[in-house]
A and B are shown apart, each in its own frame.
Chain A
Amino acid sequence: MNDIAYFKDQFEQLQEADPKGTIAGLRQSGFDSFSKAGVPTFHDEDWKYTNVSSLFDKEYPIAGLSGVTLADVDAVRLPGSELANELVFVNGRFVAGLSNIRSGISDLIVLPLEVAATGAYKDLVAAQLDHSSNYLSDGIHALNTSFICGGVFIHVLKGKEPKHPVYFYHILDTRQHPSLAQPRSLVLVDESSRLQLTETYATLGPSDSFNNQVMEIVVKENAFVEYYKIQNDTANASQVNTTHIRQIGRSYVHTVTLTLNGAIVRNNMNLVLDANGNETHLYGLYLLKGKSHADNHTLIDNLKPNCFSNQLYKGIADDASTAVFNGRIMVQPDAQKTNAYQSNKNILLSDNATINTKPQLEIFADDVKCSHGCTVGQLDEEALFYLRARGIPKESAEVLLLEAFAADIVEQIKPEVLRSYVAKLIYEHLAIQ
């Protein structure tokens, strides 16, 4: 049995230290939900294929000071960092001393979430923070909400296109004991502004880490958001990673989620299309080896008419890995003229690997065009033979074909520095047998 009772003490400790205001209220309702819902099991339709009980069979200490140094951060930095706004999180809490904010405050404002919740952004935070709980009612999401502390608030100002992209480095320090990080952030992309945001993850030390993250992004009229998630952490690193994006004005969102390594990785990518004429593109790539388990859940909720969405998730499962894709498209009664496309393509390379895929269409409006398709198959034998007939050894030929399979998604990473970095990561990842 999982022992999750100790969370109560930690929760009460946190509430005592900061008992008032919006965030304390949210934490309370989050904890109430967590107490009621508990840890999801395979009986929960949304967790049918992902067993998280192993993440709760140990006691994590409350996030506290850690010995993470600048040298540790240096090892994590992404290419292009010298021009980026770098936000460093240690065990789920924002550490200003390790971070670099390069944009001016007339372009981009970064505040501790607690500060935003009490100052000028008070009403906005109250209205937008935890909107995701309308869509995710499971205990894990509630657990993050129960422990909101040390998060950030980012505001890209109206009409601004900050030159410096935003990088999030999530460092989980397990050198002393297992680490549970529960970062929380709220991002406001204001009218006619532009944001490019990339997140990456690193676990230090030999113990297990569990990053239970929630990021909520609110996108206003005429704004443009690019969001990249790069998951290439160690084999003892797990995540439940929620990105909840609300497009409340006609806007454009483009996301790419890349999963190469990890123990259990669950991504919830929610898009709430709450304005006429939104456009959204979701891409994902998972290349799994060893015992990695990656579960991508996407949800597109079409609330208003004339929205367009396109999803393409591709993946490879090798060794004893498991890949799960669950893509849900909802078209509400008002969302006439919705165009929604979804495609999921998988390659299974080993008989010990598993692929579970479940596209879902739920349509309540009549004037819509929706389609989804998914395939599970193998590398093209013909192509493989052709390459070998030209003298390319089997292993290299396979890597070549797998790279080609992945290329559709890699191409969707718009910044050149990141794209070539990811291409290299993938090549190395595939080439190691």
Chain B
Amino acid sequence: MKEKSGTLEQAVLNEYKYGFVTDIDTDVIAKGLSEDTIRLISNKKNEPEWMLDWRLKAYNHWLKLVEPKWPNVKYPPINYQDIIYYAAPKPKKQLNSLDEADPELLATFDKLGISLNEQRRLTGVAVDVVMDSVSIATSFKKQLSEIGVIFCSISEAIQEHPELVKKYLGSVVPMTDNYFAALNSAVFTDGSFCFIPKGVRCPMELSTYFRINTENAGQFERTLIIAEEESYVSYLEGCTAPLRDENQLHAAVVELVAHTKAEIKYSTVQNWYPGDKNGLGGIYNFVTKRGMCKGDHSKISWTQVETGSAITWKYPSVILKGDHSIGEFYSVAFTNNYQQADTGTKMIHLGKNTRSRIVSKGISAGHSQNSYRGLVRAGKQATNARNYSQCDSLLLGDKCGAHTFPYIEVKNKTAIVEHEATTSKIGEDQLFYCRQRGIDAETAVALIVNGFAKEVMNQLPMEFAVEAQKLLAVSMEGSVG
């Protein structure tokens, strides 16, 4: 048994491949957080007065809050004065197109496997790239704007589309929502903004790539996606960070608004630096993601593959306000070494005939702790609300933990909520069967893990599915037939 669990552990050990640092000229402000910091950030971004007021209001609210302690994660106290709140690659001049970007920067993204040039030419995925605090480049802007789709950095949106930003910013995740959302509202430096006009089906995947580069920098991006009536958009998000011994904080806020008959599909492959084998370093990923199915027959679908970060604390949620609206959450969370993940979703059923579906697959290895935490609430008015949840955990090795905390609150007698959860390990007989066919334990584990996660992986857009599978160290499954 001992020897075999050793094989298992070997089989799941993978070096982090994105740990390099880009040597690039960066504009960095001093560490620390105060009203002055916020004024400085706002000033650097040349923001209008209303935006600064909004930030200061959030900051003053944040000061009154205490950091939440309820997640099933442990970490030393964060010193919020020891963080750099603004770091930006210095632009040589105003960029008109990607071709003018710093070659060093483009090389970085090539290394990350998201060659902007390639992507632009071949796959037709529009990419917005955010390094440290600011958006570097957005591709395909022109083509998109021809059909009325706005896809730009949030900083740009504040300048160019203030009426939209004013209307929607904080409308799904209020600045007072929670500790990290308040912090983000005060200091967010960039992020992506999408607006899909009425009746438009966005012809390509929109994608943002987040990268933390600077040491001691926190990343606080803000994403806002608005889908007008009868529109559709599929949005992808990826992220990486260099190897560092210190922990770095990532506290993002994502807000989605789906109007009548609109659909938003939001996919994440989260691969922030998870820390080393001994648990040193890594990103604290404390994120608030929430979508509002505002109109009738609207739909929001979250898909996430979580393999990175030292600590992950996030619950992409859907408020099902419109009648007949649909919320979905598909998640694979893989934790290894000393990683901790407390993740799940909230499905808040308010409208009639609303439906939600939750599929969560947790895989724990090494000394990691992996928790699913979810809330399904059917309000008094949520006639005929339906939810089905399936939460499965797979354990690799005997030093890790898998935990499930589903909360179910029902106040309407016509609602039907079902939840199922299982926990199991990879069976010795399964491993033996594979090995007898010449597949070594390592590959066998990868095959089985990928099979376990398949239901979720199938939800990912093609371009992302491949990357996600690589992350799970599985190369065979899905490559044939």
Q: Please give the residue numbers on chain A whose beta carbons come within 8 Å of chain B beta carbons, in ascending order.
A: 45, 333, 336, 346, 348-351, 353-378
Contacts and interface: CB of A to CB of B under 8 A. Distances in A.
Contact of A358 (B70, B405, B412, B420): B405
B142 interface: no
Contacts of B405: 358, 360
Q: Secondary structure at chain A's binding surface: helix, strand, loop or mixed?
A: strand
B53 interface: no
Contacts of B420: 371-373
Contacts of A369: 423-424
Contact of A366 (B397, B412, B421): B397
Contact of A377 (B397, B407, B417): B417
B403 interface: yes
A69 to B, nearest CB: 44
Contacts of A333: 398-399
29 contacts: A333-B398, A336-B398, A348-B410, A351-B411, A356-B407, A357-B408, A358-B408, A359-B404, A359-B406, A359-B419, A361-B402, A361-B404, A361-B423, A363-B395, A363-B402, A363-B403, A364-B400, A366-B395, A366-B400, A368-B395, A368-B424, A368-B425, A369-B423, A370-B422, A371-B420, A372-B421, A374-B419, A375-B416, A376-B416
Given A351-B380, A368-B423, A377-B417, A360 B404 contact: yes
Q: Which 3 residue pairs across A and B have the least CB separation, nearest first?
A: A366-B398, A366-B395, A361-B404
A76 B422 CA distance: 43
Most buried by A among B393, B420, B423: B423
B422 A371 contact: yes
Given A363-B393, A371-B420, 13 more contacts: A348-B410, A356-B408, A362-B403, A363-B395, A366-B397, A366-B400, A368-B395, A369-B423, A370-B422, A374-B417, A376-B410, A377-B415, A378-B416
A364 B70 CA distance: 19
Given A336-B398, A366-B400, A375-B417, A358 B406 contact: yes
A367 B421 contact: no
Contacts of A372: 404, 419-421
B25 interface: no
Given A348-B412, A374-B408, A364 B423 contact: no
B376 to A, nearest CB: 9
Nearest to B414: A378
Nearest to B419: A374
A358 B407 contact: yes
Contacts of A350: 413
Contacts of B380: 351
B401 A349 contact: no
B415 A376 contact: yes
B418 interface: yes
A359 B403 contact: no
A350 B403 CA distance: 32
A364 B419 contact: no
A336 B422 CA distance: 16
Given A45-B70, A363-B403, A366-B396, A376 B408 contact: yes
A375 B398 contact: no
Contacts of B406: 358-360, 374
B409 interface: yes
Contact of B413 (A45, A353, A366, A373): A353
Contacts of A359: 404, 406, 419, 421
Contacts of B398: 333, 336, 365-367
